[in-house]
Chain A
Amino acid sequence: MTTSSHHARTITQADLISAASALAGGDGALLASLCHERCQWWVSAAGLEPDERVPARRAIGIVQQHLAALTAPHCRAVIFAADARAIFEIRAWSAARGHETSVTAVADLTAQIISAIRIYLDPDAAP
C-alpha cells in the first residue's frame, strides 16, 4: 500500500483528538484528511463492509446523519496506542431511546495514517 503525498504527514495524538472531535462535530473534511485515500470503512448500522471501499465522505455522511439525531454528542474518550490503533467513543443523548447512546470508532493506523476504521452505531437511535 502506498501513501499519497496528500497523506504523507505524520499523524499525531492531537490529530486523533481532532478526528474524534470532527466525527462528533460533523467536520467530515478534517476526518477524511486523516484517513488514507483507500481507507477501509465499516459502519455497523449502515451495512458498509470493508471490501466495498466506500468513499470516506459517504461513510462520514452516514455517521453525521446519525449523530444529528442525537443531542449534545461529546467525545468521552480518546484512546491512542502509538503506531497501532485509536479508539474514539462519542456519547450522546438519544431522545428516541430515552437514554445515552454512543458512536464508537476503532481506527487502525498504518504508516501513521488511518488505514481502516470500524464504526459501531446504535441503529435504533438513528434518524
Chain B
Amino acid sequence: MPDSKSDQAASVLSVVEAFYRGFLTDDIPALGALMAETIELSFLGSAPLHGRMAALQFFEEQAGAFRHVDFRLADIVVDGTFAAGIWSETVTPHHGDPWENHGVDIFEVGAGAVLSVHEHNDLRVLPSPARASDGGGV
C-alpha cells in the first residue's frame, strides 16, 4: 500500500528539484511549466511579484546576468506541501569582484506546481535595491 505522506514528499521534492534545475540553467519554459498561474515570488526586502507572467519576466531578466555563478544547494527539506532549499553561492559579475552569499528559499507546492517562493539571503551582501540583478537563491 503506498504511503501517501511519503508520496507527497517525493512529489514536492521532485517539483522543487526541477525548479532549481530550470533556474540554474536559465530554462525559462521549464520554470514556467512548474509555476502555478497564481505563483507568488518574493525576495527578502522587496515587494512580492504576483502571477506567472511577472515571475517569468523576472527570471528572464536574470538569465545571463552574471559571468559565473557557483550555486551550492546544501539541502532541500520537505514538510507537507512546504519545502526549503538551503544554499550558498559565489557569484562573479561581468564587471567587478565576486561575492559570497547564503540563504534559504521557502517553497509551497500544490498539484505539481509551485504556488509560492520566498527567497531569503544576507542583505548585507546584496541590499534590497540590487535584487533585480541578484543571482542569489531562486
How distant is A41 from chain B, measured CB to nearest CB, in Å? 14
A6 at interface, CB cutoff 8 A: no
Please give, as numbers and ranges, the residues of chain A lying within 8 Å of B121 by CB-CB distance.
Answer: 120
Find out whether the CB atom of A87 lies under 8 angstroms from the CB atom of B104. yes
A85 at interface, CB cutoff 8 A: yes
Find out whether the CB atom of B124 lies under 8 angstroms from the CB atom of A79. no
Find out whether the CB atom of A102 lies under 8 angstroms from the CB atom of B120. yes
Closest 6 CB pairs of A and B: A120-B120, A79-B79, A87-B84, A81-B77, A104-B120, A77-B82
How distant is A42 from chain B, measured CB to nearest CB, in Å? 9
Find out whether the CB atom of A79 lies under 8 angstroms from the CB atom of B44. no
Complex interface residues of chain B between 91 and 134 (CB less than 8 A to chain A): 102-104, 106, 108, 118, 120-124, 128
Residue-wise, chain A 80-109 has the 8 Å CB interface mask toward B (1 for contact) of 110011010100000001111110101000
Find out whether the CB atom of A44 lies under 8 angstroms from the CB atom of B124. yes
Find out whether the CB atom of B48 lies under 8 angstroms from the CB atom of A99. yes
Please give, as numbers and ranges, the residues of chain A lying within 8 Å of B123 by CB-CB distance.
Answer: 44-45, 122-123
Complexed CA–CA distance, A47 and B103 (Å): 15
CB < 8 Å A-B pair total: 73
B75 at interface, CB cutoff 8 A: yes
Q: How large is the interface on B (under 10, 10 to 19, 20 to 34, 35 or more residues)?
A: 20 to 34
How distant is B22 from chain A, measured CB to nearest CB, in Å? 22
The prevalent SS among residues of A at the interface is strand
B41 at interface, CB cutoff 8 A: no
How distant is B95 from chain A, measured CB to nearest CB, in Å? 26
B1 at interface, CB cutoff 8 A: no
Name the residue in A76, A80, A120 with the highest tally of chain B Cβ atoms < 10 Å from its Cβ.
Answer: A120
Interface residues of B (CB under 8 A from A): 42, 44-45, 47-48, 75, 77-79, 82-84, 86, 102-104, 106, 108, 118, 120-124, 128
Given contacts A79-B82, A120-B103, A120-B122, contact A85 B45 (CB under 8 A): no
How distant is A77 from chain B, measured CB to nearest CB, in Å? 5
Complexed CA–CA distance, A80 and B79 (Å): 6
Complexed CA–CA distance, A44 and B136 (Å): 15
Complexed CA–CA distance, A101 and B43 (Å): 9
Complexed CA–CA distance, A98 and B47 (Å): 8
How distant is A114 from chain B, measured CB to nearest CB, in Å? 15
Name the residue in B44, B75, B83 with the highest tally of chain A Cβ atoms < 10 Å from its Cβ.
Answer: B44
Find out whether the CB atom of A87 lies under 8 angstroms from the CB atom of B77. yes
Complexed CA–CA distance, A44 and B121 (Å): 8
